[in-house]
Structure 1
Amino acid sequence: MSASPGSRAALATRGPAPQLVVRSQPVDGVSAHLLDHLPDEGGLAWVRRGDGHVGWGVAARLDVAGSNRFEKAARWWQELVGAAVVRDEIGVPGSGLVCFGSFGFTDSDPSELVVPEVIVGRRAGTTWVTTISPASSLAAPPELELHEPSPVYDVTFADGARTGTDWSSIVADAVRRITAGDLDKVVLARDLIAIAEQPIDLRWPLHRLATAYPNCWTFSVDGLIGATPELLVRREKGLITSRVLAGTIRRTGDDAHDLALAASLARSSKDLEEHEFAVRSVADALEPHCSSMNVPETPFVLHLPNVMHLATDVAGVANNGASALGLAAALHPSAAVCGTPTPVARDLIGEIEGMQRGRFSGPVGWMDAAGDGEWCIALRCGQADPDDTRRMRLFAGAGIVAGSNPDAELAETNAKLVPMRDALGD
């Protein structure tokens, strides 16, 4: 499942959306782990707690960039849905015609929607296979096979765009600007380069991420893989939900000590301030699309194997026809990945961060023909190098507010790099 150089250009869809024939039907004999079915040549994945989707092949694809990339993608998807002939014997969110997608953090970063030729899905004990093909060549349901990923050996890590010392200096600069009143919060990211002795089979870290972080959303879209804990937005049959994470502390492995750390995180004025900015930005963006909303006043502490986060689950009842992708567009970029005020924070990121995020911290997820779907924020992730299959860029970021300490923020990013570093280990 190594990244294929030039695959983006080769598979890009141009002109009007094609007419597709889609069939979803129940299937037996599927592995307990959906990722086991991903073939050697690569594929797409979205799994959590054993449920989700994996797919391979390309029935249709859109590559898009620019300030109107979400609108272009939504129009293309609507055209594709309108022209498709669908026979769906399952009838749940995620069956029938489905696209996977990921979007760049900035307007200039690449974004894409991909419709695979085959999808294997599972939801609440029901497993199905979906075949998608041009109307001129109807596809028969495939015989599902199991595929073993190749382990990744001898991985070394090197600084990306900035050394840790340089990045800490940038954080100190941001704190000075926040203290001066230029803005309230900015999220700064850094990257790390992973280099393996042999080409990286992306299915290997995917399996390890899904096993180690079952409560996260493990994803793979066009060489971007990860296990993110942050649900940007889910739309399902009129209910809209979002999980906001901001405020982090590293776990020690000592349960008693970690409980004390969780309590200190829940009382931390610095982390509570950062969290409040993030929750407010999500609630404000979703409010126009909801007839009613529930925004808890107090966050809870989300325990993950490597870190703990302050978390708030925001929920609302949809009052219009906005799709999951439309809602993701309304939310991006939230204060959790950019800052407050958003325009000022975005400009500061471009000025001092010193790297191209690409699709890191952008929306990643899936959507079906009804507009239901899930979009998370692409965190705890890595991007395969399309020009060197032995290399990946790993990413992490931290929210900077007036009370931030540069050394503590650097330690936080190191903790957030642990999932991908461990997943690539032998």
Structure 2
Amino acid sequence: MTTAAARTATSAAAVTTTPLGARRTPLLTLLPRDGALAWVRRGEGLIGWGEAARLEVSGPGALAEAADWWAQRCAGTEVHDPVGVPGSGPVLFASVAFDPAEGTSVFVVPEVVVGRRDGCTWVTVTGDADDEDLAVVETSPQHAATSIGRLAYADGALDPMAWCGAVAAAVARIDAGELDKVVLARDLLVSADRPLDPRRLLLRLAERFPDTWTFAVDGLLGATPELLLRRTGRELDARVLAGTAPRGAGAEDDRLAVGLQTSVKDHAEHAYAVDSLADALRPFVDELVVPEQPSVLTLPNVRHLASDVRGRQRDDDATGLLELVGAVHPTAAVCGTPTAGAARVIAELEGMDRGRYAGPVGWLDARGDGEFGLALRCAQLTGADGGRQARLFAGCGIVADSDPIAELAETQAKLAAFQAALED
């Protein structure tokens, strides 16, 4: 049975969206320090704060329960939305556990949402809008803390050598025919002299990685390069990433890029991820376009093999976005192939509870449009020690040809993305 851990403010209130025209203020600079919610890429997207309603849920039917809760709330809401684009009107931010049946997923309806799409900005208020709610987008940006002082890092569940041992064990099980691929992650703990300001971290991530989706929900924040699923009307889009190479300097960078493009190991890892997504989507679509070969996505710290998958949901299919997310997650990009075997190996070798790391994260509106990425290149602000601690995550795909030391280096390159935001 699904168990709802917490519900707040279940009765719906009026929702009013007000167009603001063209505004230049960066969205992330408008966030208050506490309760930041964000989904931003290339300066556009959604931010929010406050909690008009909240659902925490776990169990085998967690996403179905959340979908029902959201549908009931929207059905009882009086909406004034002259903007009428994806993300205007009622909006739900979501951060789903990697294993929704075991972990707790969090869904938040903000009191205030500021959105920007195609250069146009709007503000949505749930409840009675007051001058303070609307004035926030008229005033100067909020000031994030400029320094968090010294940082101290500590190993998480496994130290580097123990994690390499887990990779070697996974390769042995792949060689034995138990599975084809598994994604193993590791965590890194950090403590700062002063409280970690999520606004500062989000701004630095967005500045350094503008082509990723910068996100924040309930203290989990990061910059994900992977789009699990976007729904706009009946159109579905996803960006699958699997197969990674570090960046280098000069000719070395070029050599690494060619190496990724020609790597049999990385292409095999990528194919597992693409096939798992495509197979999960096919029952819901009447057309699906999957690239024959991946492209290369270049980020400041790493390169990935990338495939943009597009489809159209069948007109006779009433499955909502949350249910679609539940159908495709976990893909081989964050779990492995076959799914059940990979999940078992993760539970036995990884040594940690992923929580909401590598789970779906994003937003959904009342029309059923929305975007969900995978919570990667991220950290969970723990709230411990006065908000001075966080838990960073990174993982990589393990296949038959994986080398433990090379995989460790890949996780270090991925962790460096968030470490740079902390240390700037």
TM-score category (smaller protein)? over 0.9
For 1:31 and 1:297, the matched residues in 2 are separated by: 40
Residue deviations 1:72-123 (CA, integer Å, cap 9, x gap): 1111011111111101010100000001010111122111110000111000
For 2:104 and 2:190, the matched residues in 1 are separated by: 22
Q: Is 2:222 aligned against 1:226?
A: yes
**Corresponding residue for 1:206?**
202
Kept in 2, the 8 Å contact 1:251–1:305? The answer is yes
TM-score (norm 1): 0.94
For 1:327 and 1:277, the matched residues in 2 are separated by: 19
Give the one of 344, 354, 357 matched to 1:347: 344
Kept in 2, the 8 Å contact 1:32–1:50? The answer is no
Kept in 1, the 8 Å contact 2:95–2:360? The answer is yes
Higher mean C-alpha displacement, 29-38 vs 40-49: 29-38
Kept in 2, the 8 Å contact 1:35–1:54? The answer is yes
Give the one of 144, 149, 159 matched to 1:149: 144
**Corresponding residue for 1:87?**
80
3-state SS of the aligned residue for 1:27?
A: strand
Task: Map 1:140-219 to 2 at 5 A.
Answer: 141-144=133-136, 145=139, 146-151=141-146, 152-219=148-215
Kept in 1, the 8 Å contact 2:17–2:80? The answer is yes
Unaligned residue ranges in structure 2 (runs of 5+): none
**Corresponding residue for 2:249?**
253
For 1:398, give the aligned amino acid. Answer: C
Kept in 2, the 8 Å contact 1:21–1:84? The answer is yes
For 1:371, give the aligned amino acid. Answer: G
Q: Is 2:416 aligned against 1:421?
A: no
1:23–1:184 distance in 2 versus 1, CA, 3 Å: same
Kept in 2, the 8 Å contact 1:325–1:375? The answer is no
Q: Is 2:23 aligned against 1:23?
A: no
For 1:357 and 1:87, the matched residues in 2 are separated by: 39
For 1:164 and 1:228, the matched residues in 2 are separated by: 23
Shift of 1:323: 2.4
Kept in 2, the 8 Å contact 1:21–1:138? The answer is no
3-state SS of the aligned residue for 2:193?
A: coil
**Corresponding residue for 2:89?**
96
Residue deviations 1:59-83 (CA, integer Å, cap 9, x gap): 0110001111111111101111111
Residue deviations 1:115-149 (CA, integer Å, cap 9, x gap): 0001110000110000002xxx5656521142110
Shift of 1:28: 5.3
| Aligned residue pairs, count | 412
3-state SS of the aligned residue for 2:334?
A: coil
**Corresponding residue for 1:4?**
none
For 1:309 and 1:296, the matched residues in 2 are separated by: 15
RMSD, aligned CA: 1.5
Shift of 1:48: 0.3
For 2:149 and 2:321, the matched residues in 1 are separated by: 39
**Corresponding residue for 1:284?**
279
Task: Map 1:320-339 to 2 at 5 A.
Answer: 320-339=317-336
**Corresponding residue for 2:52?**
59
For 1:406 and 1:425, the matched residues in 2 are separated by: 27
Shift of 1:260: 2.6
3-state SS of the aligned residue for 1:296?
A: coil
For 1:41 and 1:180, the matched residues in 2 are separated by: 49
3-state SS of the aligned residue for 1:13?
A: strand
For 2:25, give the aligned amino acid. Answer: A
Kept in 1, the 8 Å contact 2:181–2:342? The answer is yes
For 2:306, give the aligned amino acid. Answer: A
For 1:119 and 1:419, the matched residues in 2 are separated by: 27
For 1:29 and 1:355, the matched residues in 2 are separated by: 46
Unaligned residue ranges in structure 1 (runs of 5+): 1-7
1:139–1:83 distance in 2 versus 1, CA, 3 Å: farther
Task: State the percentage of identical aligned residues.
Answer: 51
